[in-house]
Amino acid sequence: MLKDVTLGQYYQTDSWMHRLDPRVKLLGTLSYIIILFVVNSVPGYLVCGAFLLVCVLLSRVPFGYILRGLKTIMVLLLITVLFNLFLTPGEPLVSFWKFTITKEGLTFSIKMAVRLIFLIIASTLMTLTTSPNQLTDALESVLGPLKKLHVPVHEISMMMSIALRFIPILMEETDKIMKAQMARGADFDSGNLINKIKAMVPLLVPLFISAFRRANDLAMAMEARCYHGGEGRTKMKPLVYRKGDVGAYGVLCAFLAACIVIRVMGV
């Protein structure tokens, strides 16, 4: 059923990775992605790969789930690799018809592929082990300092969290309106592109009207429950670092340092 669709792809289980403070996971993933582009040698990638493997094992998420994340961007990955493979100038290795594979192209495309695969696995792992709720909380907390620059951090995270709550409801509504129009003979599948776009009007107009009505109702319900922005607000589930989280930061720092050392030493 459509109502079961959740945004992101949270995998519910109890693991060390799941229990980790979402801020650790958010900052960890970001720094991991950056460091992927800092290292550029085989030992460097080996260290990155090993680190990722340990994280995956600690998450107790089946490998299949993680690979599924890769599948969706396979096309993008292939295009990137092929472009780099054929279009990088340098010392030719093989050449056929109009294409030439260079040594530089080969190493560069392998590097890009490894980086992209690691990047995707790392971010998939984060969304698999962190509920969307925790992620918005973490974002609000991590971006907190930006409030001083008048960035509406609380509002952004409230918007994200409301969006997450209403996406399943709107999906269900889309399904209902679609069926209601089909009962009036509407056809959403056949015809050329222009006809298909035209056929969306009877679906989109009611959907927008309903979304606005819901937004209006919700705003009123929030006001009635004393909502007045982030000021003076307390938290039911405040983010608090525990010992394990501090340890995790330590491990993360050690890993980052190792990668930087590898890069600087040019191993």
Partner 1 sequence: MEIVKTIKLIHDYIVRDEEGNETGKVRAIDGVDLDVAPGQFIAVLGHNGSGKSTLAKHLNALLYPTEGQVILDGFDTTDESHLWDIRQEAGMVFQNPDNQIIGQVVEEDVGFGPENMGVPTKEIWERVEESLKAVGMWEFRKKSPNRLSGGQKQRVSIAGVIAMHPKCIIMDEPTAMLDPSGRHEVIRAARALNQVEHITIILITHYMEEAIYADKVFVMDEGKIALQGTPREVFSQVDRMKELHLDVPQVTLLAHELRKAGLPIPEGILTSRELALALGLQPKETGSAWD
Partner 2 sequence: MGLKIEDITYTYESGTAMSVNALNHITTEIPDGQFIGLIGHTGSGKSTFVQMLNGLLKASSGHIYYNGEDIDGDGYDKKALRANVGLVFQYPENQLFEADVLTDVEFGPKNLGLNESARKARAEKALNLVGLSEKYWKASPFDLSGGQKRRAAIAGVLAMEPKILILDEPTAGLDPRGRDEILGLVRDMKNQLDMTILLVSHSMEDVAEYVDRILVMNAGQIMLDGTPREVFSHVSELEAVGLAAPQMTYIMRDLAAAGLPVRTDCLTVEEAAAEILSHRDAIPAAEKGGSHA
Q: Identify the sign of the CA torsion 7, 26, 252, 42.
A: positive
Cα–Cα dist 29/230, whole Å: 27
Q: Of 57-65, 105-113, 142-150, 225-233, which part binds partner 1 (CB under 8 A)?
A: 225-233
Q: Residue 113: is it exposed, middle or buried by C-beta count within 10 angstroms (0-12/13-18/19+)?
A: middle
Q: Does 218 bind partner 1 (CB under 8 A)?
A: yes
Q: Pick what 237 binds: partner 1, partner 2, none; C-beta below 5 to 8 Å, kind-dependent.
A: partner 1
Instruction: Say which entry of partner 1, partner 2, none residue 155 contacts (CB below 5 to 8 A, set by partner kind).
Output: none
CB under 8 A: which stretch of 89-97, 200-208, 226-234, 248-256 binds partner 1? 226-234
Which two tokens mark 170? 């709107």
Residues between 190 and 209 that touch partner 2 (CB under 8 A): 201-202, 205-206, 209
User: What string of H, E and C letters represents the secondary structure of 11-61?
Assistant: CCCCCHHHHCCHHHHHHHHHHHHHHHCCCCCHHHHHHHHHHHHHHHHHHCC
Contacts to partner 2 from residues 93-132, by CB under 8 A: none
Q: Does 188 bind partner 1 (CB under 8 A)?
A: no
Tell me which of partner 2, partner 1, none is bound by residue 197, counting a contact when its beta carbon lies within the kind-specific cut-off of 5 to 8 angstroms.
none
159-182 burial by CB neighbour count: b if 16+ within 10 A, else e? Answer: ebbbebeeebeebebbeebbeebe
Containing H/E element for 180? helix 153-183
CB distance 119 to 45 below 8 Å: no
DSSP helix/strand/coil, 160: helix
Selected from 64, 89, 98, 185, the binder of partner 2 by CB under 8 A is 185
Binding-site partner at residue 165 among partner 2, partner 1, none, CB < 5 to 8 Å by type: partner 1
Residue 232 as a binder of partner 1 (CB under 8 A): the answer is: yes
User: Which of partner 2, partner 1, none lies near 103, with the C-beta cut-off 5 to 8 A by kind?
Assistant: none
State how far the Cα of 202 lies from the Cα of 164, in Å rounded to an integer: 25
Backbone dihedral angles phi then psi of residue 100, each to the nearest 5 degrees: -135, 130
Residue 176: CB minimum distance to partner 2, A = 7
Written as six digits, the tokens of 60 are 């107790």
Selected binder of partner 2 within 60, 176, 214, 263 (CB under 8 A): 176
Residue 217's binding partner out of partner 1, partner 2, none, with CB under 5 to 8 Å set by partner kind: partner 1
Closest separation in Å from C-beta 4 to partner 2: 8
Site for partner 1, rule CB under 8 A = 3, 132-133, 161-162, 164-165, 168-169, 213-214, 217-218, 220-228, 232-238
Site for partner 2, rule CB under 8 A = 1, 4, 173, 176-177, 179-187, 201-202, 205-206, 209-210
